[in-house]
Chains A and B, each alone.
Chain A
Amino acid sequence: MKNLVDQTEHAALIKGDHDDRARQDFAFTLRNRVTSDWMPSSRTVFDKRASAAFVRATGSAPESPRDIRAAMDADSWYRFYLSARRTSQELIWESTIPSVARALPQGGEGADLDASVLPPRYMSAIDIHCMPGGYAADRGVGDMAAGAVYDRGVYLYMSGLMGPRNDAVGALTVAYLRRHFPEFTPARILDMGCGVGHATLPYCDGFPHAEVHGCDVAPALIRYADERARSWGKAATFHQRDAEATGFPDGYFDLVTSHIVLHETSTSALSRILAESRRLLAPGGMAVHVDQPRFDGADAWGTFLQENETYYNNEPFWRKYRTIDLHAAAVSAGFDDADVTLDILTADVVTQSQNNAKLTPEAAARRRAGFSILIARAP
């Protein structure tokens, strides 16, 4: 699955010269081959070969995600696939970094920066998604390099399915809110862990009378977000703040959101972010957190596949996050049980982010593939 519409230009976007772009095009093509073709093929390897080899070696059929991992790890095609898959991820960054390193982009004068905000350990210890230097890298006043690499990389990584403005997840969530809560018209919105504002800007269009804010601990992403938003004439303000403790006053926002952020945090940070979103809500306000759904306990194959993100793509919290009961976590964070709901958002971008994993018919009957959307309201 892919979308070949080119990424929409803006003042901060760096695509590089002819060969940079050709290299990026190749990374795009290879990534899609790996996720849309080889990933589903690994199921064939399991069914036709790896499962039987596991039975011969152990005397029992592979049933748990752990069994399946042992069966697949013993297969050479699978190991070659994993190796190539890792390389395809690295080639995304290899193809985007050189043009940014040459340009050394500067900007983001409108960003609200606070150098005392330090990246938490879950962002600074490992380069998430294998992006060299990490999202929180800051190379001094005005530096936007990490934002420029990330913006281009996300487009390639998601095979264009994030849309030409990399905003599909935000747009999907805005559409969901307008459909399900047509009376809800927030005056002030905060998007937590906003990165370069991919999911933030759709709120400017969806709620044209609202004041839209985004916050992230990564200064180079915030500067880039500011430059990108202004280039498109979007009135959003970006702050260097930690979603665990934003420093905004109690009840300051009517809508607090995050998009595919929670699984990049940690067990205790997740609780603090949910509690912070509760604290920030005005009466009648709404917290909306969109991310990968919980693992389906009955779908051992799907769980095995998805856990590979932690094994092979620098996703240290992904495996654990997908076992957490978000509804219970929201209640622990101070929301009333009756005010919390979980639903599913579905789109091509979601399917791609889950590697186009084919569901067994039984698993498909039980679950709808999609992002989980946690909605928690303040009374």
Chain B
Amino acid sequence: MTLPRTARGKRPAFDANPSVDRLVSIVLALASELSVLRDRLDTMEILGAQGGWLASGAVDSFIADQPTRERRELARDAYLDRVLHIMTAEIEGLQRDEDYWATVGEIETG
């Protein structure tokens, strides 16, 4: 069982060039991810200072082991799913035959 990630109802076009709308969506999704990262670093720094385990230089000298590399690759793939979601959403919309304004008319007169 999965939950859908795109809403039924045609996504409006805002710019004459559809790629501008794609870029707006991608840039804001990236901004979201950067914000998440900053919060996560802030949490780490607070916890590190509280526990006294985050020594100066420890992060720079860290080398990831193989399980960590694999885990991070999975996480990055999931990250790209989120950042680039607008591309997938558009395809899903194309795959559905929907007419948003026909439904508005139906509901306004129905």
A interface residue numbers (CB < 8 A to B): 18-19, 22-23, 25-27, 29-30, 76, 79-80, 82-84, 86-88, 90-91, 93-95, 97, 100-101, 104, 121-122, 125-127, 130-134, 139-140, 145, 149, 266-269, 310-312, 314, 316-317, 319-320
6 contacts between A and B (CB under 8 A): A79-B15, A80-B15, A95-B32, A131-B7, A266-B108, A316-B108
- Known interface pairs A22-B35, A30-B32, A94-B85; A101-B25 also in contact (CB < 8 Å): no
Contact B12–A312 (Cβ < 8 Å):
yes
Report chain A residues within 8 Å CB of B32: 23, 26-27, 30, 91, 94-95
Interface string of B23-64 (1 = CB under 8 A from A): 011001101110110011001000000000000000000000
Contact A266–B24 (Cβ < 8 Å):
no
- Known interface pairs A22-B39, A94-B85, A121-B107; A80-B24 also in contact (CB < 8 Å): yes
Contact A126–B14 (Cβ < 8 Å):
no
- Known interface pairs A122-B107, A125-B8; A80-B20 also in contact (CB < 8 Å): yes
What is the minimal beta-carbon distance from A304 to any residue of chain B, in angstroms? 15
- Known interface pairs A91-B32, A94-B82, A132-B3; A127-B9 also in contact (CB < 8 Å): yes
Report chain B residues within 8 Å CB of A268: 110
A79, A266, A317: the one within 8 Å of B14 (CB):
A79
B4 beta carbon closer than 8 Å to chain A: yes
Contact B24–A84 (Cβ < 8 Å):
yes
What is the minimal beta-carbon distance from A152 to any residue of chain B, in angstroms? 13
Report chain B residues within 8 Å CB of A86: 11-12, 14
B94 beta carbon closer than 8 Å to chain A: no
Report chain A residues within 8 Å CB of B24: 80, 83-84, 87
- Known interface pairs A19-B36, A84-B24, A130-B7; A91-B29 also in contact (CB < 8 Å): yes
Contact B28–A84 (Cβ < 8 Å):
yes
Interface string of B72-110 (1 = CB under 8 A from A): 000000000010011000000000000010011011111
Report chain A residues within 8 Å CB of B9: 126-127, 130, 314
Report chain A residues within 8 Å CB of B43: 18
Contact B35–A320 (Cβ < 8 Å):
no
Docked CA distance A86–B36 (Å): 20
Docked CA distance A95–B82 (Å): 9
- Chain B count of residues within 8 A CB distance of the other chain: 38
18 additional contacts, CB 8 Å, given A19-B40, A121-B110? Answer: A23-B32, A23-B36, A83-B15, A83-B21, A86-B12, A87-B28, A94-B5, A101-B2, A121-B103, A121-B106, A125-B107, A126-B9, A126-B100, A131-B7, A132-B4, A266-B108, A316-B108, A317-B108
- 5 closest pairs, A vs B, by CB? A127-B7, A83-B14, A22-B36, A130-B7, A126-B9
Docked CA distance A320–B20 (Å): 31
Contact B103–A316 (Cβ < 8 Å):
yes
What is the minimal beta-carbon distance from A125 to any residue of chain B, in angstroms? 5
Contact A94–B4 (Cβ < 8 Å):
no
What is the minimal beta-carbon distance from A221 to any residue of chain B, in angstroms? 15
Docked CA distance A267–B31 (Å): 41
Closest to A83 in B: B14
What is the minimal beta-carbon distance from A16 to any residue of chain B, in angstroms? 11
